[in-house]
Amino acid sequence: MKNIYFLGECMVELRAMSEATLHQSFAGDVYNSAVYLKRSFAQISTSVVTALGQDNLSKKMLERFESEQLDTQFVFAHDTKVPGMYYIETDEHGERSFIYWRSDAAAKKIVDFLTPDLVEQLSQGDMFFFSGISLAVIEEGARERFWQIVTQLKNAGVKIVFDPNYRARLWKNTEETKAQYHLAFSVADITLPGVEDLTTLYNVHNVDAVIEYLQKYKIEEIVVKNGPASVVTKHDNTLQSHTIIPVKNVVDTTSAGDAFNGVYLGARLSGCTIENAVQLAAKAAGAVIQQPGAIVPKDIFQLAMAEAAI
Ligand code: ADP
């Protein structure tokens, strides 16, 4: 059985439905990707690597992971911390705004839980995924150990996957981000950047510039996401541009990139060509953006995917 590990943070989501009603759910980039991967490729063992607390919301979050058939062996319960949380509201023009409470979240402690024995287990995996958000969440003092772990996994033959997913507010300054991203690109076998993510950091404004910027790293597989415009891949020096069919009824683009990542990686782990993997991933992302929220109802997602032939 193929297996993939997603390291990062899942948060409690509070969505304003009306003046008096909040809808409570769970979301976070790596978790979203894990969910969409598992829903599309049930045969792949999909694990979330994170830390929660011992509170009731943490228990519900864990139950949610399990209800999505995710492996929770690497979901740890911190003694005193609780999960991060965010509030989202959409104004009358469709503009979304967020408030976060995550600076003291349990997930920031994830590296502390990864004992040498557990790292040894992780090194039996096929893929290990982390994002720019995961990097920002890991405490500064734990970064050195994190990179040691990633290097150990890479040396053991695990494919290292990195999505830069840049969120400026999570970083002290761009120098700090760039130093961490340099380490990530240096070790990555697969990267899935969105053009917008890298614009502020490296002054790259289009797909070609992103590919050009990443030339200096030895990344086997580069997948550049550019919204509805295109996806461009580079694998073993072969550049391919893939056409995306724009979705007309875009309701909420939250987690489009996450769904894309999960399904793309699931497809690649299942032996699909890059071309087929992109088409399936785009289909998933297209389905997700036609519904509100990061995680769309399972039946709606599965119906949309059933129409996609591999
Ligand atoms: P991110 O969510 O990381 O910013 P993008 O905006 O590039 O990433 O979107 C990720 C993927 O979602 C795209 O590669 C594409 O497949 C799909 N997508 C995004 N917007 C649209 C759209 N309007 N119509 C169809 N597909 C879309």
Domain ranges of the chain: 3-307
Cα 137 to averaged position of ligand 1 atoms, centre (Å):
24
Cα 227 to averaged position of ligand 1 atoms, centre (Å):
4
Determine the pLDDT at residue 310: 47
pLDDT tens, 114-134?
999 999 999 999 999 999 999
Give the rounded percent of residues in the chain with a pLDDT score beyond 90: 90
Alpha-carbon gap, residue 175 to 66, rounded angstroms:
38
Topology annotation, domain 3-307: UDP-N-acetylmuramoyl-L-alanine:D-glutamate ligase (3.40.1190)
Contact between residue 230 and residue 246 where contact means Cβ atoms under 8 Å apart: no
Determine the pLDDT at residue 259: 98
From 133, 260, 264, 305, the mutation candidate for ligand 1 (largest count of ligand atoms within 8 A of CB) is 260
Give the rounded percent of residues in the chain with a pLDDT score beyond 70: 99
- Give me the mean pLDDT over the 202-216 stretch: 96
- Give me the mean pLDDT over the 264-271 stretch: 98
pLDDT tens, 29-53?
999 999 999 999 999 999 999 999 9
Closest residue to atom 3 of ligand 1, CA basis: 257
- The residue ranking higher by pLDDT, 227 or 130, is 130
Cα 114 to averaged position of ligand 1 atoms, centre (Å):
33
- Give me the mean pLDDT over the 84-112 stretch: 92
Q: Ligand 1: which residues within 6 Å by Cβ?
A: 194, 196, 225-228, 231, 244, 246-247, 250, 253, 256-257, 260, 282, 285-286, 289
